Amino acid sequence: MSTTVKAAVFTAAGAPPTIQDLVLPDPGPGEVRVRLVAAGVCHSDLSLSDGTLPQIWPAVLGHEGAGTVEAVGDGVTEVTPGQRVILNWAPPCRECWFCAQGEPHLCEHALDRALGTYAELTDGTPVYPGLGTGAFAEATVVPAHAVVPLPDGVDPAAAAVLGCAVLTGWGAVVNSARVREGQSAVVLGLGGVGLSALQAARLAGADPLIAVDASPAKEELARALGATDFLVADGSLTKAVRALTGGRGATTPSRWSVRPRSCARRGTRRGAAEP
Ligand SMILES: [Zn+2]
Ligand SMILES: [Zn+2]
């Protein structure tokens, strides 16, 4: 048995995608089929499609996806049909050396799925899932451990970007810069990741929280998401940040104490989130 769905299929680096029928096999042991409701477009999708990042063709890209489980293979106990989920493009195997050391973000097998085919075109041509997920389609088949249950009431379109952009911005603030309440922070660039970093810095209590972008049109959104100040990126940026931070620059003391060499190597006094 199989299921035929529409998908945006990329056939070569630099070539635009075309909407084609994609034949998905029924989920095998440990796999689930997810009917997708929303997908985000990450910059990595652009980099994969234009050849900046390696990709085997033909492929269905898209790795920020939200949807509903509609079928499960043998042995799947994590989710059942009807469960709303988001996709995880780097699911840890929980068995390799890094996973055993409690560092699942370094899992040696997180991207294994991207190296194999998962579906076919109607002429039998095998198709690869971009970053293992293939979210630019009506449905996809992924390992059960590559889906994360989604609570009721969360908008799928907003939930989809939890799969990459939001976590990247949040991680920059919480794991890398380690912003604490009352520290100043500057976020450079207000794309999907930058806007996520901005909101994470607001939640962390950064003040002042300075948003910077090349486009003045981003100011209204930046302030709505928590920026206390907005600056247009130009040659006077450093001076302007110092003026807003008592001459200190946007510093995070915790970072100075935890990773002083990193800051020194950068040759900057900034320690803020810079996604
Ligand atoms: Zn991404
Ligand atoms: Zn692992």
What 8-state DSSP symbol labels residue 10?
B
**Does one domain contain both 152 and 195?**
no
Assign 93 to helix, strand or coil: coil
Residue range 184-232, pLDDT digits in tens: 999 999 999 999 999 999 999 999 999 999 999 999 999 999 999 999 9
Q: Is residue 39 part of a domain?
A: yes
Q: How far is the CA of 54 from the centre of ligand 2 (A)?
A: 22
**Rounded CA gap, 49 and 34, in Å?**
23
Q: How far is the CA of 75 from the centre of ligand 2 (A)?
A: 20
Q: How far is the CA of 240 from the centre of ligand 1 (A)?
A: 31
* Ligand with minimal distance to 192 CA: 1
pLDDT at residue 258 tops 80:
no
- Considering only CA atoms, give the Rg of the chain: 21
SS3 string of 30-82?
CEEEEEEEEEECCHHHHHHHCCCCCCCCCEECCCEEEEEEEEECCCCCCCCCC
**Rounded CA gap, 4 and 206, in Å?**
49
Range of the domain at 258: 166-266
Neighbours of ion ligand 2 (CB under 5 A): 92-93, 96, 99, 107
**Does one domain contain both 41 and 143?**
yes
**Does one domain contain both 73 and 188?**
no
**Does one domain contain both 67 and 175?**
no
List the 185-188 sheet strands across, edge first.
185-188, 209-213, 229-232
pLDDT at residue 267 tops 50:
no
CATH number at residue 190: 3.40.50.720
pTM (two decimals): 0.84
Q: Is residue 274 part of a domain?
A: no
Neighbours of ion ligand 1 (CB under 5 A): 42, 44, 164
Q: Is residue 271 part of a domain?
A: no
Q: How far is the CA of 95 from the centre of ligand 2 (A)?
A: 5
Residue range 105-125, pLDDT digits in tens: 899 999 999 999 999 999 999
Q: How far is the CA of 83 from the centre of ligand 2 (A)?
A: 25
**Does one domain contain both 146 and 203?**
no
Q: How far is the CA of 103 from the centre of ligand 1 (A)?
A: 20
Where does a domain end: 163, 193, 209? 163
Number of alpha carbons in the 13 Å side-chain half-sphere of residue 187: 36
Residue range 131-182, pLDDT digits in tens: 999 999 999 999 999 999 999 999 999 999 999 999 999 999 999 999 999 9
**Does one domain contain both 62 and 197?**
no
Q: Which pLDDT does position 13 carry in this prediction?
A: 97
How many domains does the structure of the chain reveal?
2
Q: How far is the CA of 272 from the centre of ligand 1 (A)?
A: 22
Q: Is residue 197 part of a domain?
A: yes
Q: Is residue 275 part of a domain?
A: no
